[in-house]
Homo-oligomer: A and B are copies of this chain.
Amino acid sequence: MNYNHLIQKVYTKIEAVAPQGEVASYIPELSKINPNKFGVHISTTQNFNFGLGDYQEKFSIQSVSKVISLCLAYKILGETIWKRVDVEPSGTKFNSLLQLEADNGIPRNPFINAGALVICDMLISNLENPEEDLLAFIANLSDHKVEFSLKIAASEKLTGYRNVALCNFIKSLGNIDNEPEVVLDFYFKLCSLEASCEELSQLFLFLANQGKTLHSNLEILTKSQTKRVNAIMQTCGFYDESGEFSFRVGIPGKSGVGGGIMAIHPGKYSIVTWSPKLNEKGNSYKGMRFLEDFTTLTEQSIF
C-alpha cells in the first residue's frame, strides 16, 4: 500500500480543518504550546518511514507513556500484574472512584490514571533505579533518546491535587505499597516524557511487529503479551471515548492530553499524530479526524 500518498492526501485535508476544542491548560507548561502544531509520522513493519508537518518536534507525550510503563511492568513481572489492575474499560467518569472502592482499589485498567499509578508502584518496588531503568528500557525500543521534562514534572507536581487524591485513595484501599509521595514523583516523571511523532512511531513499532523491535530484532514482549497490550489499547486507550475511537478508526491506540495519539495496526504499522487542541473528552481533535480518514481511505482495519 502506498502509505505516503495516502498520508499526504489526508494530511492536506485535515490541515485545512480549523481545530476545535482547547489546549490542555491544567498545568501552565502545557498551555503554552502553539495550538496550530500538527504532525504525523508512520513507521511500518516493512521498514518504511514517512512524516509530515511538525513530525520532528518533541512534545509532551503525557498518557501515551502509560503504554511504556505497562510494557515494562508486563515484561519484568508477567501475568501477575493483572492481580492488581484489571483489563476492563472504565465506563463513564462517574465510575472511577465508586469503582475503586467497590473493587478494593483494583483499577479498571492500566491506562486510566489509577491504573498507571498502580503500575508505577510495581515498577518502584521491582526496579533498582526506577527512573534510569525506565529510560534504559525506552532506549532499547528504538535509536532515539527520550528524556523526562523536569519542568513539566515539576509543574504537574505543583498542581496535581487530583492525582495526589487518587494515589492516597488507592493507598488507603491497600493497592499501593510504596509511600504515595514516591509513587507520585515517579508518575509525574513518566507523564513528562517528551518525544516527536517520528520518535514515538519508531519506539512503539514493536507492538505492530509481534513484540520485537525492527531495528534490532529484540524481543520486548512475547507475541501473546503484545496481542494483549494491543487488545487493552483497543478497549481502554481513549478514556470514555474508547468505543468511539474503535468504532471510527478501528485499530488500537492511546492518546495523551499533550495532543498526541499513537495507534497500531498489528502486523502493519505504528502511526503517531500530534495536534494540541483537545475535544471535550480530552483527545486530540485533529488526530482523531486524521486517523478516521486515514483508516477509511486505506480500507484497512482490524475489523
Contact = CB atoms under 8 A, between A and B. Distances in A.
A162 to B, nearest CB: 4
Main secondary structure of the interface of A (DSSP, over half): helix
Given A88-B240, A94-B98, A99-B91, A246 B223 contact: no
Interface residues of A, number: 54
A178 interface: no
Contact of A302 (B101, B180, B232, B303): B303
A172 B161 contact: yes
Nearest to A249: B231
Nearest to A232: B247
Contact of A303 (B89, B171, B234, B296): B234
Contact of A242 (B89, B103, B169, B228): B89
A302 B299 contact: no
A109 interface: yes
A88 B232 contact: no
Interface centre among A99, A166, A231 (most CB of B within 10 A): A231
A108 B161 CA distance: 21
A277 to B, nearest CB: 22
Contacts of A244: 87-88
B87 A90 contact: no
A251 to B, nearest CB: 9
Contacts of A243: 86-89, 108-109, 231-232, 235-236
A266 interface: yes
A246 B224 contact: no
A94 B88 contact: no
A37 interface: no
Given A87-B246, A97-B98, A234-B303, 7 more contacts: A88-B241, A88-B244, A89-B243, A94-B95, A161-B172, A235-B246, A252-B303
